[in-house]
Structures are given as structure tokens and as C-alpha cells.
Amino acid sequence: MSDNSTFLLFLFLGFAVAWLGIIAYVMYVGARLRAVERDLESLRTPAADAPERSSGSGVDQD
């Protein structure tokens, strides 16, 4: 492999690491945000949520 093509390979790897790292971090924060928002929502509306849950569960429908 010529020097310039290995230079290009390492350049590609470097950029891939940097961008994939940033994208993975943003996706992780996004997933955590959604999960925390869901948990907050379920904690904020416990009374309205409880009857819905029991009527919507598979056990009750049976």
C-alpha cells in the first residue's frame, strides 16, 4: 500500500472515530432524555395513569 493511501486510511479512521464518537454521545443523551421524560411523566400523573394501566393490561382483558 502506498504511503498516501495509508495516510488516507488513517485520516478516514480518525474522522470516523471523532464523528461516530460525537454521534454516539448525542444518541445516548437523546435516549436518556426520552427515558427520564417518560419516568417523570409517569410519576407526575400517578392517579390518572393507574386505572388506565389496569384496564389496558392483558390480564384484565382476559
Please identify, using beta-carbon distances, which residue of 2 and 61 lies nearer to another protein: 2
Does 53 contact another protein by CB under 8 A?
no
Does 36 contact another protein by CB under 8 A?
yes
What distance separates the 2 farthest-apart alpha carbons in the chain?
A: 69
Does 50 contact another protein by CB under 8 A?
no
Q: In three state form, how does the secondary structure of the chain look?
A: CCHHHHHHHHHHHHHHHHHHHHHHHHHHHHHHHHHHHHHHHHHHCHHHHHHHHHHHCHHHHC
> Interface with another protein by CB under 8 A: which residues?
3-4, 6-8, 10-11, 13-15, 17-18, 21-22, 25-26, 29-30, 32-34, 36-37, 39-40, 43-44
